C-alpha cells in the first residue's frame, strides 16, 4: 500500500507542477486580458524575455477585470478606474477614445465627412469600458439617432478587426488600436477625441523582493515608451 501511495503522490506532484509551474525557479506569472496582451503586451514581453532568458514566464489570460488578485499571480495587468489601494500599481495607458474604420469605408460612398454621418452607420462597440458611443456623440455635440446596426463585443480586438474588414465603425482606444493604425488597416475619423476615465494598470503582488522577476519586469516595462 505504501509504494502505491508514494507513486500516487509523485504523480500528483508532477501534475501540479505542469499546471502551476515550479515557483521555486522564480517563475514570473503575468495575468492580463487576451485583447490587451495581443495588442500591447506581447511585443514588449518578447523584448523582456530576450533580455532575461533565465526567467521562466507564464502568461495567464482573462476576459473580465474583476477576477481577484491571489498568490498565484505575480503581476496583474487590468483595466481599472485607478490604482488598487494598498498595492504597487502603475498606470500603463493614457487612452484617447475615438472612432475608426477601414480606409475604404471612410471614402464611401457615402463619404464620412462629419460626426453626424455616423448616426445611420453600423456602430461597433466593446462592452466593459467606461466610455461608449453615447459619451463620444455628446463630446461631438450631436444627438445620436439609432444606427442601422449596433454590434457589441466583449473584446475590443474583435470590434477593431470588424472595422478593419469594412463592416462598421468601431469606437477605439489608442493603446488597443496602435498596431492597426500603424499598419493602415484602420484610420481615425474626425478630430473629436475624449480621454478615457479607466485605463490599464499593472499591479504587483504583495511581498515581492527587489530582485524578484516581477520587480525586474515592472522596471523594464516602465522604462519603455507607453501611450
Which stretch of DSSP H or E encloses residue 164? helix 156-164
Residue 98's DSSP bridge partners are 172
In a domain, 120, yes or no: yes
Q: How far is CA 226 from the centre of its chain?
A: 13
pLDDT of residue 227: 42
- Asked whether residue 191 falls in the same domain as residue 100, the answer is yes
Looking at residue 109, its pLDDT comes to: 87
101 and 54 in a common domain: no
> CA-CA distance, 183 to 74, in Å (whole number)?
33
pTM above threshold 0.85: no
Closest CA to 131 of 78, 173, 101: 173
Alpha carbons 14 and 197: distance in angstroms, whole number: 45
Residue 153 shares a structural domain with residue 185: yes
d(CA 37, CA 176): 10
Whether 173 is covered by a domain: the verdict is: yes
CATH number at residue 68: 3.40.190.10
Residues 133 and 209 occupy one common structural domain: no
Report yes or no: 126 and 152 within 8 Å, Cβ to Cβ: yes
What pLDDT, on the 0 to 100 scale, is given for residue 207?
78
Q: Residue 14 domain-assigned?
A: no
Domain co-membership, 107 together with 171: yes
Please indicate, yes or no, whether residues 87 and 173 belong to a single structural domain of this protein: no
78 with 100, same domain: the answer is no
Contact 163, 170 (CB under 8 A): yes
Same domain, 182 and 104: yes
- Report the phi/psi class of residue 207: left, alpha or beta, with left for phi > 0 and alpha for psi in -120 to 50: left
User: What pLDDT, on the 0 to 100 scale, is given for residue 208?
Assistant: 75
Considering the domain architecture, whether residues 164 and 204 belong to the same structural domain is answered as no
**Three-class DSSP category at 162:** helix
| 6 domain residue, yes or no | no
pLDDT of residue 225: 47
Q: Does 185 share its domain with 126?
A: yes
CA distance 94 to 10: 48
pLDDT along the chain (227 residues), means of 10: 46 45 69 87 92 94 69 90 88 96 92 89 92 93 74 91 96 93 96 95 83 90 66
Where in the sequence is the domain holding 204, given as residue range(s)? 21-93+198-222
Residue 202 lies inside a defined structural domain of this protein: yes
Q: Domain for residue 64, yes or no?
A: yes
Is 141 inside any structural domain?
Answer: yes
- Do 114 and 190 fall into the same domain? yes
DSSP state at residue 85: T
Q: Which of 23, 31, 85 is nearest to 217 (CA)?
A: 31
Within a domain: 9: no
Looking at the structure, tell me whether residues 183 and 212 fall in a common domain: no
How big is the CA angle at 205 (ends 225 and 14), to the nearest 5 degrees?
110
State how many domains the chain has: 2
Amino acid at each position: 500500500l505504501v509504494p502505491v501511495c508514494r507513486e500516487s503522490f509523485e504523480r500528483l506532484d508532477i501534475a501540479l507542477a505542469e499546471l502551476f509551474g515550479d515557483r521555486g525557479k522564480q517563475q514570473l506569472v503575468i495575468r492580463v486580458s487576451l485583447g490587451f496582451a495581443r495588442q500591447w503586451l506581447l511585443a514588449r514581453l518578447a523584448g523582456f524575455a530576450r533580455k532575461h532568458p533565465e526567467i521562466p514566464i507564464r502568461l495567464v489570460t482573462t476576459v473580465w477585470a474583476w477576477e481577484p488578485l491571489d498568490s498565484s499571480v505575480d503581476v496583474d495587468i487590468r483595466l481599472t478606474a485607478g490604482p488598487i489601494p494598498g498595492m504597487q500599481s502603475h498606470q500603463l495607458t493614457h487612452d484617447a477614445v475615438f472612432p475608426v474604420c477601414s480606409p475604404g469605408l471612410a471614402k464611401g460612398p457615402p463619404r464620412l465627412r462629419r460626426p453626424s454621418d455616423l448616426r445611420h452607420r453600423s456602430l461597433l462597440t466593446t462592452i466593459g469600458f467606461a466610455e461608449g458611443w453615447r459619451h463620444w456623440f455628446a463630446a461631438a455635440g450631436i444627438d445620436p439617432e439609432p444606427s442601422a446596426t449596433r454590434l457589441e463585443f466583449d473584446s475590443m480586438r474583435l470590434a477593431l478587426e470588424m472595422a478593419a474588414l469594412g463592416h462598421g465603425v468601431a469606437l477605439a482606444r489608442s493603446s488597443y488600436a496602435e498596431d492597426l493604425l500603424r499598419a493602415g488597416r484602420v484610420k481615425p475619423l474626425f478630430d473629436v477625441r475624449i480621454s478615457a476615465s479607466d485605463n490599464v494598470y499593472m499591479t504587483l503582488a504583495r511581498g515581492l523582493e527587489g530582485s524578484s522577476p516581477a520587480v525586474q519586469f515592472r522596471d523594464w516595462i516602465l522604462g519603455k515608451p507607453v501611450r
